[in-house]
Structure 1
Amino acid sequence: MPMRKDGVTVDLQMQPLDRLRGVGPAVAEKLAARGLSTLQDLWLHLPRQYEDRTRLTQIRALQPGVAAQVEGRVEAVERGFRYRPMLRVAICDDSHATLVLRFFHFRAAQVAQFAPGARVRCYGTPKPGQNGLEIVHPSYRVLDDAVETVLGDQLDPVYPTIDGVGTTVLRRLIDQALQRLPDDDSLELLPQSLLSHFQLPTLREALLTVHRPAPDSDIAALLAGRHPAQRRLALEELLAHHLSLRGQRIAQQAHAARSLRGLTLARKLRDALPFRLTGAQQRVFEQIRTDLRKPSPMLRLVQGDVGSGKTVVAALAAMLAVEDGRQAALMAPTELLAEQHLGNLRAWLEPLGVRVAWLAGKVTGRARAKVIAEVASGEAQVVVGTHALMQEGVAFADLALAIVDEQHRFGVHQRLALRDKGAGGTVGADAVVPHQLVMTATPIPRTLAMAAYADLDVSAIDELPPGRTPVQTVALSAERRPELVERIRAACAEGRQAYWVCTIIDESDEVVAQAAQSTFEELSRQLSGLRVGLVHGRLKAAEKQAMMRAFKEGEIDLLVATTVIEVGVDVPNASLMIVENAERLGLAQLHQLRGRVGRGSAASSCVLLYQPPLSQMARQRLATMRETNDGFVIAEKDLELRGPGELLGTRQTGIAGFRVADLARDADLLPQVQALGERLLADSPALAARIVARWVGGAARYASA
């Protein structure tokens, strides 16, 4: 909360909105539903675009697709019901050109307004129509000839809509809120030296500019988010999120953790492996080992491309805990992925005398009771499972290392719950908590990692094991589908297996399942000599597991599936992946799907089947997939094309919900944000807390997860 120079607290920005005219209980409730409860919330509810009503454009000068304001007199009105109710109003101005206003939703009173000869001022985006240019559903006013109507003196902001609160009401409320902005000294939290270095305005100047830009403002820069006023706001928002995460890191490391120093068991595992570790695997393991030797909890993210060998690095880390007489747990988001980890860990660890236990939803009755008892006694040294690991009744004897795979699929509370298992269920100030190792097969761009994982140390396994053959990727139009059927027949005749992935995106899982079902039936007819299987998200877990196991064991030649197979399926004999409607998926998901093939020594292919015409973004995505197999390059391109929301789970982080900042656009600010953040935490923790409170609120995003 800002302070005056005399030390008197200024609580104006936290005033509830019911102090504003026009905000009764009903409006306050609707605003609160969108997270708007205080004056400060309204100051930071920023426009998404702008309309220029400061001037009039002659109808003759209108350009298709370019929004403009025009004024003319009604020439003709036509009301029709061809396919649905429709109102067409023709207006003409001094340039003797005509513009059609088209309405599909209107009331009788509106029709009466448009009397021939009436003077109308309207704003909208013209497009070609049957009889010249037209604007569909323009905003408009019918003017009184006896009253002089002046033009606006500033660009009109267009705010994100709020259910039940009209645009006019919202603008009026924001106007009132802006009138109560404190002076610069009371509002400003950033050092003047920083603002001068970046040539940025104060917060007060920035807010007034963004909400009420002058007619001579650089509207192109505003619409692109590159205006100095927006950069000023983005800088403070990025700083607030960084401080929030770093604050959580400091709080987490204030706890104690077991210092794990043994290395004999890890070396035995390394020497017994049927393959040599890559240089990247060895480097990342050494980083983890250094962390685990410390008496404060490790918080490390290991990112690595599909097939880079993250699991074996996690297994080596687990051996450091086991050798010290303690436990390690590995949690995966699906039973399929968890079961795959179980198979690998048992094959690697049980010959060394390490007891690996399995705990998932399908482990029930006496078997479940037995596993829970082994976990509680410490007999189970490494425990693999799904979210079942966090359920009530599961207690560890001494959990020293918590490993979370595909971390972006878990929410904050799930990570916290597993951590708390190692602290006896609660985390007090003097609690001993487990080290945390989180892994992802979705490489994260450097800029995104800097912002989203400021509470974690980040390691990258950026080297694939030798002998991997790069997957050849092609993009084909859907009309060439028959060729692919024959290609599958040929591949399976050589003893290989194939995937056919259905990716129709719809609000209903049922639609995707139906698409997969019909594709399964069609391919079963066309490939009658092959064994065709089907798996989708609406199958029961046991049915999915059985089908995937049959495919893995070679009992099925072609697996028709939805994107349920995106993560964790390891079938080295599968050498052909066909992704239908590939244009509907983002790069990260396409790359994950492609990673299901090329896991053996055979040459593998991925065919991206698309439905033309392609959008510009879809064309760029498919081109990127053809050009590279490098997940880190793909992640950078995905961030550029679609923003951070695609790469991060919103349940875990508010990064995707930034109000102003855009990590792709504002990446150049991040090094300064990091440096300033560390300085503020060291020298001015109270100021850091106020910056966090302004942008993030009272609840820190990671809740010290």
Structure 2
Amino acid sequence: MTGPAPQRRRSASAPRILDPRAHRLDRVLGKANATKLEKGLGLRTVGALLNHFPRRYLERGELQSIAGLPIDEEVTLIAEVLSSSQRPMRNRRGSIVEVVITDRDALRPGTLTLSFFSGYQAFRDLQPGVTALFSGKVSVYRHQPTLTNPHYLLLEDDTTGEDLANRPIPVYPATATLTSWWVAQRVATVLAHLGITGDPDDAVRLPDVVPAGIAAREHLGDLVTAYRDIHAPAEVADAYRARHRFRYQEALILQTALARRRAEQQAQVAVGRPRRDDGLLADFDAVLPFTLTTGQREVGESLDAALSADHPMNALLQGEVGSGKTLVALRAMLQVVDAGGQAALLAPTEVLAAQHHASITSTLGPLAQAGMLGGAEHATRVVLLTGSMSTAARREALLAAASGEAGIVVGTHALLSETVQFAELGLVVVDEQHRFGVEQRDTLRTRAGVPPHLLVMTATPIPRTVAMTVFGDLGTLFLDGLPAGRAPIDTHIVPLTEHPVWRERIWQRAREEVDAGRQVYVVCPKIEGDGTGARAGGFDDGDGVELELATDDDGPDSKRAPLASVEDTAAALRRAPALAGVRIGELHGRLDPGDKVATMAAFHRGDLDVLVSTTVIEVGVDVARATLMVILDADRFGISQLHQLRGRVGRGGLPGTCLLVTSLEEGHPSRARLDAVASTTDGFRLAEEDLKLRREGDILGARQSGGRSTLKLLRVIEDEKIIVAARQDAQAIIEDDPGLTGHPVLAGAIDDYLDPEAEEWLDRG
């Protein structure tokens, strides 16, 4: 019996070539480990794990600062045990182990208490003087940050299988069950399997997304070295060089995807819709009771030229809250109707769709009464289509759209139904693009025989580099200035911890507005009050979708103060002496759609003085007499949400006031958001501040990109130069090779990044 043939050493001139996208993890790590990575982190292939980059690096001999740990986020830190104690639980069997760790900061020593339920092993391991890695989610207990049941790794008994004494320790994005160091072990196994951390002559050759000429120009180095340096750096400087390489690679993938999409759109043929000198638009402009702003006039001219072209317009219109975007969009719709086409306006909620329909119908007057007594010579019909309409009303609206009788069709997601047909769809207007995905905004466009023009509107100002990264397939139009008569909005923080007596003053201030004939919004983060069962912690996202807030009687969150809810707040205000006799209404996403529309209509008519609401009123709702907005627990909202919300007041020529009410102590990290909003009404400044304060990876979420939910390393504010360079390179690549036939690796990377289902092509054997 002969033994196996001796293995011949591969020469440097004939390296192994491996496509990590096609190499399944179970072949390298075994089925059990591969299953954990797929279920916990969504990683199926060697390439996916290689691209699961560390979020930061820890120096082995350096303890991590405890001050300023982010609440409600997973953290990993090195710290020393200061004390350890054990006590029985009050309400159940077992014990709680409390371990206090420290960062030994000489100037500002920080301590953090860790709680382990039935943590007998932790009590034995974590004795004073021990140094360890700790990983867990930061929560708050008795107003102090804490970690509950964190994972830990004793550094005196290193079990990572690698001598890290003089190397930085990578910290990976992890989960409650898959710790950073567990992920690091699997990454190390994969790197060794590929020869990346061994003899360079034995390392695989990896297909590179970045063309060789660009990599040389940008000094990016080779891909194998970059993977080694980002996952197992000899020093932190190596990791930073590798991160720069992968940032550029990520920017190139995204910008090439957008450039390809732009090229595909420009190659399509559309029906030009030039402006007529006589018709709906001319008649509308003639009866406008005000003069268009310079910004409205300039954007209108740009839209006129784009709509007249014989290829589809794809435009993003952005401007400040209240800058008059809807009027600009209406004039574009009238131009299309004049040219024989129809326009569809897609709104994110039924409340907003109904208001758009009412506003357009009222603004057009006789111009919206085609076929009716009193209708103008040049007139059309404006119809509404929502999911809650009666069968008869829906049938009538569908018939008006299909026959072409309705020149303008306003609707919600119901417009995307396959039952909706148009006679000649010429323009699709998408309001509040952040509520829709790429596929949704394209659904209507693919219904038409010839691609219609597209106008996307957003009232959330988008910094330039974000627009290039998220909406790079659209041409951007900026609407500057505010219409005449739009009043400024004063924003003030109301800190109840420092000034508890101000709570009563809030409602006295509301009464003053009501007595002056004005109206008030009160915004809450929740729908239901506490004590209503499992849904007591439900948050409303503005369209009836709730997010649960978990509680645990023995957990560190059990002492959290209850958040303001629509139901409890409305009930309390009806009992408040300061608001006696005031008409108070409630609005939230779980109301019946008809009730929502009726409530908003009553507030718009002035039949209600105070509207207690969730963020369903965040966008588009326009009530001229609303001058005061009170946002309770304002720290629970993001900067862009707060900016949008306060834009609902001061819309009728009267000054607006927004009160940001918070119970957080001064200096709390979440107070920084409120300080930013109170300091300026410049939406673009706030958008950049928002990116700095919150996790930026969600910028390119599924709602914008139509695919994976996070940027890995790219930072759209800090990496503007990289994004601009990658955009230029991507444009040049697509101009030379529109189908990317000469760039198969780049084409495959685009599919992987933007389409989670692209991995279905993997070998199933």
Query: Do the two structures share a fold, i.e. TM-score over 0.5?
Result: yes
> Which residue number in structure 1 is paired with residue 221 of structure 2?
201
Find the partner of 1:557 among 589, 609, 627: 609
Deviations 1:321-343 (A, max 9, x none): 21221211111111111122112
Pick closer, same or farther for the CA change 1:200–1:372 going to 2, 3 Å: same
Pairing 1:682-693 to 2, within 5 Å after superposition: 682-684=735-737, 685-686=740-741, 688-693=743-748
1:104 corresponds to which residue?
116
Shift in alpha-carbon separation, 1:552–1:212, aligned structure 2, 3 A: same
Which stretch shifts more, 550-559 or 77-86?
77-86
Match of 2:256 in 1: 243
Of the three residues 572, 591, 602, the one matched with 1:522 is 572
Letter in 1 for 2:523: V
Q: Please point out which of 40, 48, 51 is paired with 2:55.
A: 48
Whichever residue aligns with residue 748 of structure 2, its letter is A
SS of residue matched to 2:749: helix
Q: Contact 1:520–1:560 (CA<8 Å) still a contact in 2?
A: yes
Q: Is the 8 A contact 2:319 2:460 kept in 1?
A: yes
Contact (CA 8 Å) 2:574, 2:584: kept in 1 or not?
Answer: yes
Instruction: Name the residue aligned to 2:3.
Output: none
Measure the CA separation in 1 of the matches of 2:241 and 2:678. Answer: 38
Aligned equivalent of 1:139, options 136, 149, 153: 153
Residue of structure 1 in register with 2:674 after alignment:
622
Report what 1:336 is aligned to.
Answer: 351
Distance 1:544 1:396, change over 3 A: same
Spell out the pairing of 1:553-702 with structure 2 (5 A cutoff): 553-644=605-696, 650-653=702-705, 657-684=710-737, 685-686=740-741, 688-694=743-749, 697=752, 699=754
TM-score by length of 2: 0.77
- State how far apart, in whole Å, the 1-side matches of 2:216 and 2:441 are: 41
2:21 and 2:307 map into 1 onto residues whose CA distance is 44
Task: Give, as a single letter, the amino acid of the residue that structure 2 aligns with 1:451.
Answer: T
> 2-side partners of 1:561 and 1:115: how far apart?
51
Shift of 1:183: 5.9
Q: Identify the residue that residue 472 of structure 1 maps to in structure 2.
A: 490
Unaligned residue ranges in structure 1 (runs of 5+): 92-98, 128-133, 424-431
| 79 and 600 in structure 1: CA distance in 2 versus 1, 3 angstrom threshold | closer
Out of 445, 450, 453, the position equivalent to 2:471 is 453
CA distance in 2, matches of 1:10, 1:115: 47
Deviates more, 1:688-697 or 1:259-268: 688-697
Query: Given residue 27 of structure 2, which amino acid in structure 1 is its aligned partner?
Result: R
5+ residue gaps, structure 2, are: 1-11, 68-75, 102-110, 139-145, 197-201, 369-375, 528-536, 541-545, 549-561, 759-765
Q: 1:281 to 1:649 in 2, by over 3 A?
A: farther
1:373 is aligned, of 381, 391, 399, to: 399
Distance 1:344 1:103, change over 3 A: closer
SS in 1 for 2:580: coil
2-structure distance, mates of 1:17, 1:89: 37
Q: Give the whole-Å Cα distance in 1 for the aligned partners of 2:318 and 2:691.
A: 16
Q: Distance in 1 between matches of 2:113 and 2:608?
A: 60
- Which residue among 503, 515, 519 is the counterpart of 1:493? 515
**TM alignment of 1:119-130, pairs within 5 A:** 122-123=132-133
The sequence identity of aligned pairs, in percent, is 35
Q: For residue 259 of structure 2, what is the amino acid of its counterpart? A: R
SS where residue 447 of structure 1 aligns?
A: helix
Alignment of 1:26-105 (within 5 A): 26-33=32-39, 34-53=41-60, 55=61, 68=78, 79-81=86-88, 85-87=95-97, 104-105=116-117
Of 377-386 and 182-191, deviating more is 182-191
Residue 289 to residue 155, structure 1, CA distance change in 2 (3 Å): same
Alignment root-mean-square deviation, CA: 3.8
* 1:415 matched to 2:441: yes
Contact 1:39 1:177 (C-alpha < 8 Å) held by counterparts: yes
Task: Give the equivalent residue in structure 2 for 1:161.
Answer: 174
Correspondence for 1:535: 587
1:391–1:615 CA distance, 2 compared to 1 (3 A): farther
Q: Alignment partner for residue 23 of structure 2, among 15, 18, 25? A: 15
Pairs aligned (count): 655
The 1-side partners of 2:635 and 2:85 are apart by 41
1:461-509 deviations in Å (ceiling 9; x for gaps): 1211122111111111232111111111111111111111113595544
2:257 corresponds to which letter in structure 1?
S
Correspondence for 2:236 among 217, 232, 236? 217
CA distance in 1, matches of 2:659, 2:167: 52
Q: Indicate if the aligned counterparts of 2:205 and 2:224 stay in contact, CA closer than 8 A.
A: no
User: Aligned letter for 1:85?
Assistant: S
Aligned equivalents of 2:474 and 2:64: distance in 1?
53
Counterparts of 1:553 and 1:100, CA distance in 2: 54
SS in 2 for 1:356: strand
> Alignment partner of 1:329: what SS?
strand
Residue 185 of structure 1: CA displacement?
6.7
